[in-house]
Amino acid sequence: MMKRIFGFLLSVVIIAGTVLPGFSVSADAVTEKPYLSLGADLTASEKEKVLELLGVDEDDLGEYTVGTVTNEEEHDYLDDYVSASVIGSRALSSVLVVTEDEGNGIDVETSNITYCTSGMYRNALATAGISDATIKVAGPFNITGTAALVGVMKAYEAMTGEEISEESKDAATNELVATGEIAGSLGDYDKAEQLFALIKEKVVSENLDSEEEIMDAIEDACKELEVTLSDDDKQLIKDLMQKISDLDLDANQLKEQAKEIYQKLSDMGIDITSESFWQKVKNVINSIIDGIMGLLS
């Protein structure tokens, strides 16, 4: 009976698509144009420079979905983490986002970005739930680039139709800025990227949520990477990781999207794949319970 009903409905859809005006699904409807997000306050010459850095010909803008990010939006997301003077009063950060096939992960290139590295963006975007995209970030001249994250998230939502939760956006923004702060403390951006990626993987894969568990993960990661942090630095990371522990993140997805960073960790001999036996049992039981609850609801 269900097969007959499904067959009937499918026939109706096919017939409607062929005979009813305005009721058709074309290839264009599911084709994703690259998304170009421009700072709303770029002057004509600055816009020209940014487009050049992003590899976009202004005469071909019709081939892109073009949006803008305002300075107000930048302040909405960043005011809790960086001073207003750093954000400034003009929206200049611009990004180009191209979706890729599943499994490609996140790839980021930057031009005229002085504070945020490609790895910092990759880590933060994976936290936001963004996947399989090539992203270019550019400024008309040297800028910090923190506000570009807003443009990427806005672009991804428009391209995929998937809304990124406010909690995910907040955690991603927090992570981007916090990584920069820890990089300043360590004097090493690569090490900071690796540290955040390693701690985050531990928190997500082992379902850590208590302050003690997260602090232990931070201590373990510091030992593995041979870095020393102040108590304030550890507190900064702990507060962020508690936010991340509340998100519905998958450790394998994180490693797939920020694969370049996790590959470096693996090359260093750091195990990022192991789970304890009891953790695996716990995960299986949780999956079964989730499945039963889904059926009941």
Amino acid at 127: T
**pLDDT for residue 107:** 96
Full-model pTM: 0.79
User: How far apart are the C-alpha atoms of 258 and 283, rounded to whole Å?
Assistant: 23
**pLDDT for residue 114:** 93
**pLDDT for residue 93:** 93
3-class SS of residue 54: helix
Q: Which tokens belong to 9? A: 């409905």
Amino acid at 18: T
**pLDDT for residue 68:** 95
Round to the nearest angstrom and report the end-to-end CA distance of the chain. Answer: 24
**pLDDT for residue 273:** 63
- The beta strands (E) that lie in 77-153 are given as 94-99, 106-113, 133-143
**pLDDT for residue 247:** 95
Instruction: Provide the 8-state DSSP code for 62.
Output: G
**pLDDT for residue 199:** 96
Instruction: List all residues 6 or more positions away from 233 whose beta carbon is below 8 Å from its beta carbon.
Output: 181, 182, 185
**pLDDT for residue 71:** 94
Q: Which tokens belong to 112? A: 């005229």
**pLDDT for residue 293:** 78
**pLDDT for residue 208:** 95
User: How far apart are the C-alpha atoms of 261 and 251, rounded to whole Å?
Assistant: 14
C-alpha to C-alpha distances, 104 to 5, 256, 258, 277, nearest whole angstrom = 38, 8, 10, 30
Closest CA to 227 of 188, 259, 258, 273: 188
**pLDDT per residue as tens, the chain (297 positions):** 444 544 444 443 343 343 333 333 333 333 479 999 999 999 999 999 999 999 999 999 999 999 999 999 999 999 999 888 888 899 999 999 999 999 999 999 999 999 999 999 999 999 999 999 999 999 999 999 999 999 999 999 999 999 999 999 999 999 999 999 999 999 999 999 999 999 999 999 999 999 999 999 999 999 999 999 999 999 999 999 999 999 999 999 999 999 888 988 888 888 776 444 444 555 557 677 877 877 777
Length of the chain: 297
**pLDDT for residue 26:** 31
The Cβ of residue 69 has, within 10 Å, a number of other Cβ atoms equal to 27
